[in-house]
């Protein structure tokens, strides 16, 4: 399909709250294909539609891509439409997160270690599952995007300001 530009901080669009997808249509599936193309082109493992300027509650993810050196092009993309999460534990899991919308910035964020996830797949079928480990971290990170929250919003004000300044510097140098 098409590789779209990924928005970076401090673009105000990233702070918008995304709206539910009314119905899963061919247009929705085309958006999903563009999101996957854009995510793979940027070497990411997750992408929310708002990151390419579309304020809809759609997430794509591929936690297997690039993980097996013997199969570097192996892909196992997943789609989450209108996702909802519920923490299943008070236990927090730390993970050093990065983000395609905050390039070259990484920092530790603590999130619930296990969550219940409810969503529609790309055919509009309802799915309920539990997530833990990297899957739990990644889905919560992407869910934050749908709510206008970036991972740096979980950091101290000083770290957040430094992250935005670094992204601006990287963009000027490009």
β-pair partners for 85: 117
Q: Pick the catalytic residue from 64, 118, 130, 142.
A: 142
Contact 60, 47 (CB under 8 A): yes
Catalytic residue list contains 97: no
Radius of gyration of the chain, Cα coordinates, nearest whole angstrom = 16
Q: What is the maximal distance between C-alpha atoms in the chain?
A: 45
Whole-angstrom distance, CA of residue 37 vs CA of residue 17: 23
Nearby residues of 162 by Cβ (< 8 Å), 6 or more positions away: none
- For the annotated catalytic residues, the residue numbers are 142
């Amino acid at each position: 399909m098409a590789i779209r530009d990924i928005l970076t901080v401090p673009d105000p669009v990233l702070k918008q709250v995304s709206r539910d997808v009314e119905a899963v249509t061919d247009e929705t599936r085309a958006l999903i294909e563009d999101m996957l193309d854009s995510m793979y082109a940027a070497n990411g493992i997750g992408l929310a539609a708002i990151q390419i300027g579309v304020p809809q509650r759609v997430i794509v993810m591929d936690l297997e891509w690039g993980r097996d050196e013997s199969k570097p092009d192996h892909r196992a993309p997943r789609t989450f439409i209108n996702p909802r999460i519920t923490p299943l534990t008070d236990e927090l899991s730390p993970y050093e997160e990065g983000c395609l919308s905050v390039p070259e910035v990484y920092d530790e964020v603590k999130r619930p270690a296990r969550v219940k996830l409810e969503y529609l797949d790309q055919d509009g079928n309802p799915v309920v599952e539990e997530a833990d480990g990297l899957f739990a971290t990644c889905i919560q990170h992407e869910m934050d995007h749908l709510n206008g929250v970036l991972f740096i919003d979980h950091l101290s004000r000083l770290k957040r300001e430094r992250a935005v300044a670094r992204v601006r510097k990287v963009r000027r140098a490009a």
